[in-house]
Amino acid sequence: MSTATAAGSIEGIRSAIAKGETTAKAVVEIYQARIAGEDEKIRAFLSTDRDYALAQAARIDDLAAKGDPLPKLAGVPFGIKDVLTLEGFAATAGSKILEGYRPPYTATAVKKLADAGAVFLGKLNCDEFAMGSSNENSAYGPVHNPHDLDRVPGGSSGGSAAAVAAGMAVATLGTDTGGSIRQPASFCGVVGVLPTYGRVSRYGLIAFASSLDRIGPFAATVRDAATVLGVIAGNDVMDATSSQLPVPDYAETLDKYADQGVKGMKLGVPAEYFAEGLDAEVRAAIEGGIEKLRAAGAEIRKISLPHTRYAIPTYYVIATAEASSNLARFDGVRYGLRAPQSDTLATMYRRTRDLGFGAEVKRRILLGTYVLSHGYYDAYYKKAQQVRRLLTEDFLAAFGEVDAILTPTAPTPAFKLGEKSDDPVAMYLADIYTVTASLAGICGVSVPCGKSRTGLPIGMQILGKHFDESTIFRVGQALESL
């Protein structure tokens, strides 16, 4: 199995093209050949367009031939999670209800990649409407973990993580609502970034839970992931929640701290993330990583995030409530599937949604509708919003003491396909360490940190303050080098 280490780096590809050592066309053809060779087993891509990618590569080769400066991501092969739009390309969101839909516009994050010279290999498989922790909820079949084909890649951005892990793309975009970038990054042994809420425009993202949804990159290294975030971040008039704060030069930060590493930093380790339910091998790997950071000069402080145990129930109330509202738009009127031969509008709505949505999406719409319905709103939805504030205040207090927080990304390594698919609560617990940062709006990154005895990757989650991605990248880069 080719792994992420076999893939080129962003700067390596760009400079090789600039120096004439290779061409963008040659690079994209290598990745297209890998997809042809590997993806029958892994199933990361839902759609590819050979000619589109070659045309993008040709534009880069024209620039290089003229000796013009190359943009940041020149000739770098990317994959895009299929919940993000690219004009004229299918965008299924992993759902039958959007089968055949060709969006008439391009997501801001995707457009920014294209403007920076990226080459798009195709759209990536995911759980339906990004709802899931294993990629088994895709209407187009599960993705297989490149490290063990009988195991899940994690979810919901399973295709995005697996494509990088298998060397089928240099970097990919995913989305994270409760852990959907970080958890698959951990399961597949790659780097996955949850940017701060507001850092990246969501225009062109098919919405799941709008107060939580974020777009972020996957790559083989912290540096490449940071480079991609630098390209896609920034204010956008098309997303009122996107921040007007300036975007730092993350690569410059990484250069600056390449030698110093974590020396002098205060890193917090919350007791609540090392309690019951944590797999022994994951615990050993993360504690080993923390010891290495201590040896490298970081001050490790024990901290407490006391409301952590309430995060999963809080998340599943808020996320499903928002989903039940967002998914009301899929009704067979304007795009996608329409159930044939319905004699009234109301019947058409119901039959379209019955045919188009899978079981997990229906379950979440029902739950979200229930918690918002008359008589239950205060007990569930309002209560969850109150606990969301307590969870957020836990982090704000902790960041008064420490620069970043270290935890396992997931309680276990990748589990087997089918292992949890009949027990929604067990599946939801796969997100136990990731939903807290989602609710609080802070940033995080999952960085590979050892493997299990059977060779399954384990990820360390590094959490940072709002808009302080530079700090978590600095810690992540140090961890990679140790």
Q: Which positions from 42 through 101 interact with another protein, judged by CB under 8 A? A: 101
- State how beta strands 77-81 and 119-124 pair: parallel
* 284 touches another protein (CB under 8 A): no
Q: Verify binding: residue 241, another protein, rule CB under 8 A.
A: yes
Rounded Cα gap, residues 91 and 9, in angstroms:
27
Alpha helices in 78-209 (DSSP H): 108-115, 158-165, 182-188
Binder of another protein out of 149, 345, 397, 481 (CB under 8 A): 345
Closest to another protein by CB, 260 vs 386, is 386
In the region spanning residues 297 to 326, those forming contacts with another protein, defined by CB under 8 A, are 307, 309-310, 312-314, 316-317, 324
Residue 216's beta-bridge partner residues?
A: 174
Q: Per CB under 8 A, which of residues 189..228 are in contact with another protein?
A: 197-198, 211
- Interface segment toward another protein; rule CB under 8 A; list 110-118, 131-139, 234-242, 248-256: 234-242
Residue 258 structure tokens: 């390449």
Q: Tokens for 341?
A: 């031969």
Cβ atoms of 146 and 188 closer than 8 Å = yes
347 binds another protein (CB under 8 A): yes
The nearer residue to another protein, 22 or 369, going by C-beta atoms, is 369
Contact between 307 and 387 (Cβ < 8 Å):
yes
Minimum CB separation of residue 85 from another protein in Å reads 11
37 Cβ contact list (under 8 Å, min separation 6): none
Among 36, 255, 425, 481, interactor with another protein by CB under 8 A: 425
Q: Is 313 exposed, middle or buried (0-12, 13-18, 19+ CB in 10 A)?
A: middle
Q: Which of 369, 419, 450, 480 binds another protein (CB under 8 A)?
A: 369
Task: Spot the catalytic one: 133, 134, 180, 470.
Answer: 180
Known catalytic residue: 416?
A: no
Hunting for tokens 């990088």 — which residue is that? 164
HSE at residue 139, side-chain half, CA atoms within 13 A, is: 19
CB of 392 to another protein, least distance (A): 5
Cβ proximity of 202 and 242 under 8 Å: yes
Binding residues for another protein, rule CB under 8 A, total: 76
For residue 447, give the 3-state DSSP assignment: strand
In the complex, least distance from residue 212 CB atom to another protein, rounded to whole angstroms? 9
294, 345 contact by CB (below 8 A): no
Q: What number of CA atoms fall less than 13 Å from residue 424's CA on the CB side?
A: 12
| Integer Rg of the chain from CA | 21
Give catalytic status of residue 201 as yes or no. Answer: no
Token pair of 41, please?
């087993």
Residue 336 binds another protein, judged by CB under 8 A: yes
CB-wise, 46 or 449, nearer to another protein? Answer: 46
If one asks whether residue 30 binds another protein (CB under 8 A), the answer comes out as no
Return the range that interacts with another protein (CB under 8 A); candidates 46-54, 122-130, 215-223, 352-360. 352-360
Give the nearest distance from C-beta 93 to another protein in angstroms.
14
Q: How far is the CB of 191 from another protein (least distance, A)?
A: 23
User: Is 156 noted as a catalytic residue in this protein?
Assistant: yes
Could you say whether residue 248 binds another protein (CB under 8 A)? Answer: no
Show the site string, 104-133: x = touches another protein by CB under 8 A, - = not.
xx----------------------------
Out of 156, 242, 243, 421, the active site residue is 156
Q: CA-to-CA distance for 176 and 196, rounded, in angstroms?
A: 11
Active site residues: 81, 156, 180
